[in-house]
Structure formats: structure tokens, C-alpha cells
A and B are shown apart, each in its own frame.
Chain A
Amino acid sequence: MESVIRAAAIYGLLLMVFRLTGNRSLGQITTFDFILLLIISEAIQNGMVGTDHSVTNAFVLVLTLLTFDIGLSLLKSRLPALERWLEGVPLVIVEHGHPLRDRMQKSRVDVSDVLTAARKLHGLERLDQVKYAVLERSGDISIIPEHGGSDPPRA
């Protein structure tokens, strides 16, 4: 009984904390982010496992976590509002080469992040070659390049 409650509590807590700290936190994962993740899992582990190191306990914990995950995904497909709160909404952060500063600042993304994504995904050189940059719900930045001539910039 206790392991189910423990796992459920940890699941809820992590879901809340990670959503509230923002998408950006683990979207573009750096080496340090990765280390941080490992440390977080280490910190959580003892609280979740407690003093019971049996295989049954481990099994119940895994089962609880997965069941909650499936349950939540079913719930999200039924309730779009819940999905928005849990996953956020995509956001256009660069429009026709113009960075939308306020949005970028609020979502803790800067121009250099956009340029990094532009270089990586499309081999673009400058910001004005970016038609749209979208901060996706996963925290990734997707880039739609400006095609020379086919769709001239408006601004």
C-alpha cells in the first residue's frame, strides 16, 4: 500500500515541479542538465523506495508510475484544457527574421538559441533567413526557413 502512495506522490510532485519550472529547463539538454537529471533521480530514489528493497516493492513502484502515466495520457486526450496546462502551447518566437523579444524573454530563450537551432536544423547563417521559429511544447525550437523569393518578407 505504502509503495503505491509513495510512487503516486513522487509522480505528482515531479509533474508539478517540472511543469512549473518551464519547458526550457530540459528541452535543449546540456551536459549539465543531464547531470542534474541524474542527481534528481538519485535524490528522489530514496524517498520513493524507502527502506523496502524487495523486488515486489520495485515492481509495484514501476507499475504505479506507468499506470499513472497511461492514466494521465488518457485523461489528457479527453480534456484538452488539462493537456494545455500540463504541456503548454507552442509559441512563435521569430517572425520573418524579427525576434519577438518579450515572448522570448518570458520563455527564457534568446536569439543565440534560435540561431543554434537554425544552424543545426537547416544550416542557416543569419536570423533574416528564418521565416518562423517556434518554441514547441517539448521545449525544442523548430525553424521554418525563409525561401529566397518564393515568399518575400513582409516587414
Chain B
Amino acid sequence: MSTGTETEADAAEESDRMEEAQGKARGLHGSGAPNAVAVDHGPTKLSSVAAVVAGFVAALTSGPFSLLALPLALGGVAMIAGGLFWRTNRTWVTTGTMSLYLAPIIAGALGVAVELLLLSVVSTFLAWNFGQRAIDLGEQVGRHSTTARNEAINISLVTFIGFASAALGYGVYTVSEGSRPVAAVAMLVLAALFLSWAMRS
């Protein structure tokens, strides 16, 4: 009995092997050689995750302080996440960023601590940039390729620049704290704007 089933299994195996060989031979002469790899142009993983994390930080540091800011913040994060994980869409990421950006401005107008606001705004920009980078890399290089090092470098560079400019502004702000009129700060901001425009790469 047992020998019978064995031979049957052997026969089945053999026919499998023959089929496989025939398939290979057909591959050479017929329609398909080994198939091409799947090309995945979705946003790259590391930057996408970083973008959503940054978005959450931004939302948490601005949303909870105002009933008006909260939906904007959470909606913005959802928008960014949707534009990266659900379907690839740059406009969603940018729209989400705009919505997210409104949250600290509203919270600021209601008198939330400036440190938190700065953290929120920096995180918003980070989320925006990481999201852009994820989509960019996805389109040009693809999720199926090695991109982690490129993403890590970008994340650290932009994070550094973002927090450095926030720190600079914060420094000036604390030094000049007191009864400085808004006009002075406005002028300084305008000065920074014009000078930054004058700078060219």
C-alpha cells in the first residue's frame, strides 16, 4: 500500500518537474522570459514615516490648545498621511501642510507658549519636506530600491536647519523681550526676508 502511494507521489513529482522544464523551454522560445521585477513608485518608507511623525508632533504641540486649531491640526496630519500612504498625491501633502500650519498660528494668537509654537511650526515644515522627498524619491528611484541613506541624510539636514533658524529667531526674541513694539519685529522680519531673497545659490 505504502509503496503504491510512494510511486504515485514520485510520478506526480516527475510530471511536475517535466512541466517545469517545459515551462522553461517555453520561456526561451515563447512569450515570457523571467518576469521583470515589480516597479513600485510609491513614496519611500523612511521619509513617509518621518513625515507623519513630524506631522503628529506639530499637531500635538498646537492642536490641543484651541478648539479651532484641533481639527485643522488633525485634519492636516490625516491629509499628509493620506497623500503618502493611501495614495501618492503631492497636493494632499501640501494642503495638509497648509492646514497644519494654521494650527500654531491660531494657537499663537490665543497666547500659547512661543517655544511650543516654534516646535510646531518647525515640525510642520519638516513633515512637508519629508513628504515631498518621499514622493520625489518614489517617482525617480522607487520604493523597490535602496534609498535609506539618502533619506536619513536629508532628514537630519533639514531638521538641523529648521531648528537652527527657530533657535536664532527665539534668541533674538528673548533678548529683545519686553516692551518692544510689533513694528520693530516686523521690520526685522522684512529685513530677513529681503536679505534672504538677495542671497542666490
Genuine A/B complex: no
Please list the residues of chain B having a beta carbon within 8 angstroms of any beta carbon in chain A. none
A residues whose Cβ falls under 8 Å from a Cβ of B: none
